[in-house]
């Protein structure tokens, strides 16, 4: 039976084994999926051992996405979206061949456009934060053809640098004060603010009519960002559970050649809708 796993530290909290077990059952795929706890200084050894034991693929989570990028670059190839992200969250092993991919951004876009019925084409989109999560989302968001894509960060230079990676006139990097007077149809929080229940310095009027606020973080209760977005006039809000499922479905497609339906698994993980829109 083909072996797959999610690797991280810590890892006991991961929903990936449950998600991929449900995908495999739905698609009648014979595979075994587990959680691998790698020592903080033992990522490469753990991956090498997994491959030697016949492992076919890995999902990679905190804090190993940068090491996974280096591993794929050294031992195989990287997808274009992984190259731009500078991080890998999915590894595929075909014998001696290694492929590194980043499915986070495409999972985000799929959740927005298909599950939340929020097409991005022609919209003004704002990405908050300029770290790894924002970088991973950048190329898939731009490929969805928004009218404008802005990146805002507390350190404006980081946002400007990120915007320059795409080298497109409609992509803008800025600090939070530069958002004053701007309006966006979709505002995505890729910062770590929700981890610490922090609010962001967002101006009044940021959300256009019928705007959607999306937090890449997910939780059992509304995040600080979503509560703040509601108070600033966002018409719709959603958290990142859908992104988690869609990036997992993209990894499953990369490994098995079939993309599972995420709706039944979403109902399994969250039987009652959390967000009222």
Beta-carbon contacts of residue 193 (< 8 Å; ≥ 6 apart): 128, 129, 199, 200, 224, 225
**What region, left, alpha or beta, does residue 96 occupy, with left being phi > 0 and alpha being psi -120 to 50 degrees?**
alpha
Measured CA to CA, the distance from residue 86 to residue 8 in angstroms comes to 18
Measured CA to CA, the distance from residue 135 to residue 82 in angstroms comes to 10
**Mode of pairing for the β-strands spanning 97-101 and 90-94:** antiparallel
This prediction's pTM: 0.94
Q: How many CB atoms lie under 10 A from the CB of residue 121?
A: 9
Task: Say if residue 249 carries a ligand binding annotation.
Answer: no
3-state secondary structure of 238: strand
Written as six digits, the tokens of 161 are 């640098």
Task: Say if residue 79 carries a ligand binding annotation.
Answer: no
Instruction: From first to last of the 277 residues of the chain, give the pLDDT tens digit.
Output: 899 999 999 999 999 999 999 999 999 999 999 999 999 999 999 999 999 999 999 999 999 999 999 999 999 999 999 999 999 999 999 989 999 999 999 999 999 999 999 999 999 999 999 998 999 999 999 999 999 999 999 999 999 999 999 999 999 999 999 999 999 999 999 999 988 889 999 999 999 999 999 999 998 889 999 999 999 999 999 999 999 999 999 999 999 999 999 999 999 998 877 654 5
Measured CA to CA, the distance from residue 21 to residue 3 in angstroms comes to 12
pLDDT at residue 172 in the model:
97
Catalytic residue among 20, 65, 75, 266: 65
Task: Say if residue 247 carries a ligand binding annotation.
Answer: yes
**Mode of pairing for the β-strands spanning 55-60 and 124-128:** unpaired
Task: Say if residue 123 carries a ligand binding annotation.
Answer: no
Residue whose token pair is 């599972």: 260
pLDDT at residue 275 in the model:
57
Task: Say if residue 157 carries a ligand binding annotation.
Answer: yes
65 is catalytic: yes
pLDDT at residue 276 in the model:
47
Ordered structural domains, the chain, with CATH: 2-102+242-269 (3.40.50.10860), 105-239 (3.40.50.720)
Task: Say if residue 233 carries a ligand binding annotation.
Answer: no
């Amino acid at each position: 039976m083909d072996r797959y796993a999610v690797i991280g530290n810590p890892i006991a909290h991961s929903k990936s084994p449950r998600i991929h077990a449900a995908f495999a059952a739905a698609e009648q795929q014979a595979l075994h999926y587990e959680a691998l706890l790698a020592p903080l200084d033992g990522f490469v050894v753990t991956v090498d051992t997994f491959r030697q034991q016949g492992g076919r693929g890995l999902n990679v989570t905190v804090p190993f996405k940068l090491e996974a990028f280096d591993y794929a670059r050294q031992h195989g190839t990287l997808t274009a979206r992984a190259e731009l992200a500078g991080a890998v969250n999915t590894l595929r092993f075909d014998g001696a061949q290694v492929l590194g991919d980043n499915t986070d951004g495409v999972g985000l876009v799929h959740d927005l456009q298909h599950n939340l019925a929020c097409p991005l084409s022609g919209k003004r989109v704002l990405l908050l934060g300029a770290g790894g999560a924002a970088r991973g989302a950048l190329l898939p968001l731009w490929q969805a053809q928004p009218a404008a894509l802005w990146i805002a960060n507390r350190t404006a230079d980081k946002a400007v640098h990120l915007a320059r990676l795409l080298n497109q006139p409609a992509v803008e990097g800025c600090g939070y004060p530069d958002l004053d007077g701007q309006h966006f149809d979709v505002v995505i929080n890729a910062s770590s603010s929700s981890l610490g229940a922090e609010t962001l310095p967002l101006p009044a009027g940021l959300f256009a009519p019928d705007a959607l606020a999306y937090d890449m973080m997910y939780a059992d209760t509304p995040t600080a960002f979503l509560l703040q977005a509601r108070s600033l006039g966002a018409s719709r809000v959603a958290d990142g559970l859908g992104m988690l499922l869609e990036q997992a479905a993209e990894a499953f497609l990369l490994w098995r050649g079939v993309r599972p339906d995420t709706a039944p698994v979403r109902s399994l993980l969250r039987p009652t809708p959390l967000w009222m829109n």
